[in-house]
Structure 1
Amino acid sequence: MCGIVGYIGYRETQPILIEGLKKLEYRGYDSAGIAVHTGQKLEVTKSVGRLANLENRLTGEPLCGTVGIGHTRWATHGKPSDANSHPHTDNSLKFSVVHNGIIENYLELKEELVQEGHRFLSETDTEVISHLVAVEYEGDIVKAVQKAVRKMRGAFALGVLTEHEPDRLVAVRYASPLIIGVGEGEKFIASDIPAILEYTRDIYILEDGEMAVLTRDRVDLFTIEGNPIAKDVFHVNWDLMTAEKGGYDHFMLKEIHEQPKAYRDTMRGRISEDGRSVVLPEIKLTPEQLRGINRVHIVACGTAMHAGMVGKTVIESLARLPVETDVASEYRYRSPIITPETLVIVVSQSGETADTLAALREAKRCGAHVLAITNVVGSSVAREADDVIITLAGPEIAVASTKAYTSQLIAFYLLGLYMAQTLGTQEEARIAHILAAMDSLPDQVEKILAQSDTVKGIAEAISKHSNLFFIGRGIDYAVALEGSLKLKEISYIHSEAYAAGELKHGTLALIEEGVPVIALLTQEDLYEKTLSNIKEVKARGADVFGIANEGHEAEAAKSVDTLFSIPRTLPLLTPALSVVPLQLLSYYASLALGHDVDKPRNLAKSVTVE
């Protein structure tokens, strides 16, 4: 959510800022802008809408200079507009700021500044920062930023530039991600690695309460209080090409097709050579500590929460521990019962999700052991958790998560099996049996992907409707929730997911002639009951698209209008397969409606504000 890029060096900065912002488009935005010191003064150009609008403005009047900051904004305070776009300046136009996050006390600060004669041109909280820095400036931009930041409450990543000292660029992080890129004779700031990977692979990852002062030749790191700090350079070893579309029409389609590889990569090195046990050397939780755990909380948001719902079933089934799932934005506000005997598992694709981070910190404050499942090495969640399982899905660019979600499922399977073998709740033979079935999952996904055209036809029919329903029982219900969310995210079709057994408790009132219902019936012990639920909606005129296991085609086809069969696997593992046709369904429905699949409206890839 929002993106920052900054540069100081020997090259023209405008192209670097624009290209860097393009690499951050996946985060979601509704306006963009850049500020550049031209050698004589600080100049700002910004525009509502896509980056192309900003580029058009810069075509006729480019900003020439070798130091600058850029930003893509996702509206929080004030509607999308040119005036509300970043960068923001003070009244003298000599201080410019880009900001990710929220300043919670901005109204209080703004009122004080207005009383002192300051004029504000936007509705944003960010504009307050530029005025604060100007007020505090007494010849040293670093001290001015430090003083301004001490007055602010909230979450922020900042890039600050002043006309008075164009040879220095200041960056600050507090509860919103920010990295520093180190090149020869040039330095960078960015919200995420892809923005600067073309120029350098050496970065500093700022922690909360840290700031960096960049010149062309050096980076000085401090706490916000001004104390110098030492930090190791992190070398990025993945290829920029992994963030390209690779011949696919959209990143989402590419990432759907990358799932077999993501499964293999996430499992690789975590299963013993004989295939009979799970090996998680990254887990520091000792067997003695694990035996002392009496409850598990899984906390996440959105798609990650749906992975957590599958994880609940996995851990309860295998490790025989009670598991609660909680939406991260609600977790700390309901005074959850957290003790040192609680294992809290937080799940976040980016590792920077604000609500999930807050839940993690609350759990640690209460003495719980926190284990994170995330896709990003070096992210806040990864650094702050006691233990972390990195899902090796690779960079995920499309806003709608696919391979990151299914990699989270693989991580939960591995974790559940690891806990079971440590606690002795499952026999070795059953663990080996599940691992053997997991080994087949990548090839089974390939088989599903080969039938994409079948799903495409169904999606095109569904795209003509404005409402539909997903139903499933047991673990199928968790997958139904994810399928419904995917469809809403990128096609904007209203859909709801229900536990199929709940239909008769109210939802049947909404079923009428021609309403599409997507029904999952992959759980063998609930198969007959789910068929009964399907017949309930069919009796009221629903048009049912069923997803069933191979071997049930003949029987299931009698109860549904259209059937898609997935390869047979263990019931516990079916979510890793059954979700794939639902991902394709959402993709092709969005395509049929002419939407921007990779950048759905109003959404962002990484939600870094509460």
Structure 2
Amino acid sequence: MCGIIAARVSDDVTPFLLDGLERLEYRGYDSVGVAVRTAAGRIATVRSVSRVADLRADLAALAAAGAPADAVTGVGIGHTRWATCGTVREENAHPHTDCSGRVSVVHNGTIDNAATLRTTLERQGHVFRSEVDSEVIGHLVERALRVDPDLVLAVQIATAQLRGSWAIVVLDARDGRMVAAAHRSPLVVARSARGDFVASDVGTIAAWCETFVPLRDGDVVELGEAWSWSSEGIAVPVPFPTATPFAASALDVDLGDHPDHTAKEIAEQPGVVADVLDRVRRRTADGSTWTGLGLPAFERLAVVACGSSLHAGQVVAGTARTLGGVPTDVVPASEVDQVVLGPGTLVVAISQSGETADVLRALDRLDDRFPVLALTNDVHSSLARRADAVLDCHAGPEGGLAATKSFTAQVVVGVTAVVSALVASGRLEPTRAAALVDELSELPERMAAAAVVAAERVPLLAATVRDAPGSLFVGRGPGLPYAAEGALKLEELAYRWARSCAVGELGHGPLALVDEGTPVVVVDHGDPRITSAAAEARARGGFVVTIGGVGSDLPVIAGRAEATGLAWGRSVAPWGPIEAVVPLQMLARELAVQLGCAVDKPRVPVGSMAVGWPGTRSATG
């Protein structure tokens, strides 16, 4: 993902752009930039391959060095980028300009026919300065403006030539006009007493605006004294605005006693789970959560998701199979073309942000006859608008890039929805459902206890495995999704390879990776075959770390068994050992910290560049 912020305000626009970009950094931080119209009717562009804080300093320094004519106005655009097209360097950062410097553009999405358009434009004399597909948009607008000076028409002509997905904002230096357009990529516009705003998501502008309007595919909007709105080239009334949710307001930056957002959000999980269960407990056991969604009955379940959300979906699907005998498919969103869904299938699409491009594209490819239930942390997102029904995961904002509390919230919301659906369809007795909800209600205390034990043992454990080039994570049955999630967290945060597999598959290839000291992390829910697999890894010299009951290296229910009679070796719940994810997350984070990685925003490039500020030289930091 990438992030867009744009604004028309009465005074200096840069504070709004910079604050918006800081809220958008979760969408990408390989590079960042702004383009602001100056009092002289020119565009001042500052771009950086560092962080927003460095961009803020560059802007302040350049403004101090500028002449009065270079003073910024209240019109500007900004962008934060996750590199998917073109390397991480200043020339590939947004905003991009046309040949003359009149038009400046920020873009999210992918232009599938960019190479063809670029070749044509270069033959016509246009000069490109970057490797990225986004730059063609500015040149297409430039070409259209040579024929007709109207910016809205130029954007309509330009977008009509594009194939792929886009959310764009175009700024004209001559008159300060600003036009936004979208197709298969999220963009919202909003107006308040402070001015007009455009952003990739409503949370970016929630602090300034009480309402917002999402752009639909094919919409082109000019922001000004009165908004001009068109859809597929035809003028239409401005859609009625939606109230901005309070929960979408700016990220809580108070870390309290925590050193980073990732640590804070790991620690928040017991509270998040307790809050979710308070919301859904009664409506789970009597089936009313499901009936309230208004979805048709289903015979099969297909989960479509990516990354951590895919692992959460595996837990949800496993619960449906175990409790209700429901046939399930768990499909990586990028591979949806390879699956054939049977009649009576309900698609469960899972995305923390609700803006995951692969998930949205997967829904484009699926037949409309399959109803879609969305699990998302943003009920105003593109996914929520596309789905037939939505369940809010209520995880709250995440400042850390790697999903932690949102994963756990997805699991709990998805599991309770499945239990409710099985009750409503007669597959599960209400008394059994009530007992399952009671069992889930123990989870917050279990997770809190797991965190206490992990906090004591994980630092030494991480130091022991710090020099290992990679790790294996293994589990079985309901424990396997948590092993996979633990491996993913280690890769994301510590940049070490990590492979997950079923314990029964160790002898079919993965065991060859085990050498003297190779970490093998075992999610052990008491199955004897897990114990045998751990012994086999030890025999090869593997450094085995067990996460399980009393006697494990990380006993996640330590202190609970004696008080409650709970035992790890009892018949495991259909959703598996959820509390095991806490030490897995803490291990990945601690290893990342010991290796000097930026846990909240991993893989950070260094250096910055500012270009194009009238009357100054480019500045490199």
TM-score by length of 1: 0.91
How far did 1:330 drift? 0.7
| Aligned positions of 1:439-478 closer than 5 A | 439-451=441-453, 452-478=455-481
Change in Cα spacing, 1:341 to 1:180, as seen in structure 2 (3 Å) is same
Equivalent residue, structure 2, for 1:479:
482
2:202–2:244 CA contact under 8 A, matched in 1: no
- State which drifts further: 277-286 or 253-262: 277-286
Indicate the residue corresponding to 2:515 in structure 1.
512
User: Structure 2 stretches of 5 or more lacking a match?
Assistant: 64-70, 561-565, 606-621
Structure 2 distance, partners of 1:580, 1:170, is 46
Equivalent residue letter for 1:295? R
Q: Residue 619 of structure 2 aligns with which residue?
A: none
Q: Is the 8 A contact 1:271 1:279 kept in 2?
A: no
Q: Any conservation in 2 of the 1:315–1:321 contact (CA below 8 Å)?
A: yes
Shift of the 281–531 alpha-carbon distance from structure 1 to 2, 3 Å rule, reads: closer
Q: Give the Cα–Cα distance (whole angstroms) in 2 for the partners of residues 392 and 52 of structure 1.
A: 29
CA contact (8 A) 2:38 2:73 kept: yes
Question: Contact 2:450 / 2:580 at 8 angstroms: preserved in 1?
Answer: no
Matched, 1:140 2:143: no
Number of the residue aligned with 2:261: 251
Corresponding letter in the other structure for 2:535: K
Partner of residue 204, structure 1: 213
2:470 is the alignment partner of 1:496:
no
Structure 1 residue 444, shift from structure 2 partner: 1.8
In structure 2, what is the equivalent of residue 60 of structure 1?
61
Distance 1:43 1:470 in 2: 50
In the TM superposition, residue 271 of structure 1 has moved relative to its aligned partner by 2.4
Alpha-carbon spacing, 1:85–1:241, altered in 2? closer, same or farther (3 Å): closer
Task: Check whether the contact 1:364–1:370 (CA below 8 A) recurs between aligned residues.
Answer: no
Distance in 2 between the 1:142 and 1:192 partners?
A: 23
Cα contact 2:189–2:213 (8 A) shared by 1: yes
Say whether 1:318 aligns with 2:323: yes
The answer (yes or no) to whether the contact 2:394–2:409 under 8 Å persists in 1 is: yes
Q: How far, CA to CA, are the matches of 1:164 and 1:241 in structure 2?
A: 33
Deviation at 1:94, TM superposition (A): 0.6
CA contact (8 A) 1:90 1:131 kept: yes
- Residue 423 of structure 1 deviates from its aligned partner by 2.3
Is the alpha carbon distance of 1:12 and 1:391 closer, same or farther for their aligned partners in structure 2, counting shifts above 3 Å? same
2:563 corresponds to: none
Q: Tell me, what secondary structure is at the counterpart of 1:213? A: strand
Stretches of structure 1 that go unaligned for 5 or more consecutive residues are 604-610
Equivalent-residue separation in structure 2 for 1:173 and 1:397 (angstroms) = 26
Q: 1:349 to 1:277 in 2, by over 3 A?
A: same
**Which of 220, 231, 240 pairs up with 1:231?**
240
The residue type equivalent to 1:43 in the other structure is A
Q: What is the 5 A alignment of 1:85-164?
A: 85-137=93-145, 138-164=148-174
Q: Could you tell me which amino acid in structure 1 is paired with residue 493 of structure 2?
A: I
SS at match of 1:212: strand
Matched-pair contact (CA < 8 Å) for 2:400–2:601: yes
Q: Which moved more, 1:451-460 or 1:310-319?
A: 451-460
Task: Tell me whether 1:82 sits opposite 2:90 in the alignment.
Answer: yes
Provide the secondary structure at the position in 1 that maps to 2:483.
helix
CA contact (8 A) 2:36 2:45 kept: yes
Distance 1:537 1:16 in 2: 55
- On the 8 A contact 1:314/1:412 being kept in 2, the answer is no
Tell me by how many angstroms 1:381 deviates: 1.0
8 Å Cα contact 2:206/2:246 also seen in 1: no
Residue type matched to 2:389 in 1? Answer: D
CA contact (8 A) 1:212 1:219 kept: yes
- Report SS of the residue matched to 1:66: strand
CA distance in 2, matches of 1:197, 1:212: 20
Q: SS where residue 303 of structure 2 aligns?
A: strand
- Give the counterpart letter for 2:128 in structure 1: F
1:594 aligns with 596
Match of 1:427 in 2: 429
Kindly tell me: are residues 279 and 464 of structure 1, through their superposed partners in 2, closer, same or farther at Cα, counting changes over 3 Å? farther
Report the Cα offset of residue 242 of structure 1. Answer: 4.8
Structure 1's 326 and 276: CA in aligned 2 closer, same or farther, altered over 3 A? closer
Amino acid of the residue matched to residue 600 of structure 1?
A: P
Query: 1:608 — aligned with what?
Result: none
Separation (CA, whole Å) in 2 of partners of 1:243 and 1:191:
19
Structure 1 equivalent of residue 613 of structure 2: none
SS in 2 for 1:97: strand
8 Å CA contact 1:3, 1:27 repeated in 2:
yes
Query: What TM-score do the two structures reach when normalised by structure 2?
Result: 0.89
Cα deviation digits, residues 135-181 of structure 1 (max 9, x gap): 11222111111111111111111011102321x32111111111112
Aligned counterparts of 1:282 and 1:133: Cα–Cα separation in 2: 49
Report the secondary structure of 2:16's partner residue.
Answer: helix
1:231 shift after superposition? 2.5
Distance 1:467 1:235, change over 3 A: closer
SS of alignment partner, residue 90 of structure 2: coil
CA contact (8 A) 1:33 1:54 kept: yes
Compared with structure 1, are the counterparts of its residues 82 and 52 closer, same or farther at alpha carbon in structure 2 (3 Å cutoff)? same
Does structure 1 conserve the Cα–Cα contact (< 8 Å) formed by 2:211 and 2:241?
no
Query: 296, 302, 321: which one pairs with 2:307?
Result: 302
Residue 280 (structure 1) aligned with residue 275 (structure 2): no
Which letter maps to 1:60? A
Instruction: Look up the equivalent residue of 1:58 and give its one-letter code.
Output: L
**Alignment length (residue pairs):** 581
Q: Distance in 1 between matches of 2:367 and 2:288?
A: 25
**CA-to-aligned-CA distance 1:360-388 (integer Å, 9 cap, x gap):** 232243x1111111111111111111122
Distance in 2 between residues matched to 1:90 and 1:239, nearest whole Å: 35
Name the CA distance, whole Å, in 2 between partners of 1:478 and 1:547. 14
Question: Displacement of 1:194 after TM fit?
Answer: 3.5
Whether 1:262 and 2:265 are equivalent positions in the alignment is no
SS at match of 2:379: coil
C-alpha displacement at 1:545, in angstroms?
Answer: 1.1
Pairing of 1:176-187 with structure 2 (within 5 A): 176-187=185-196
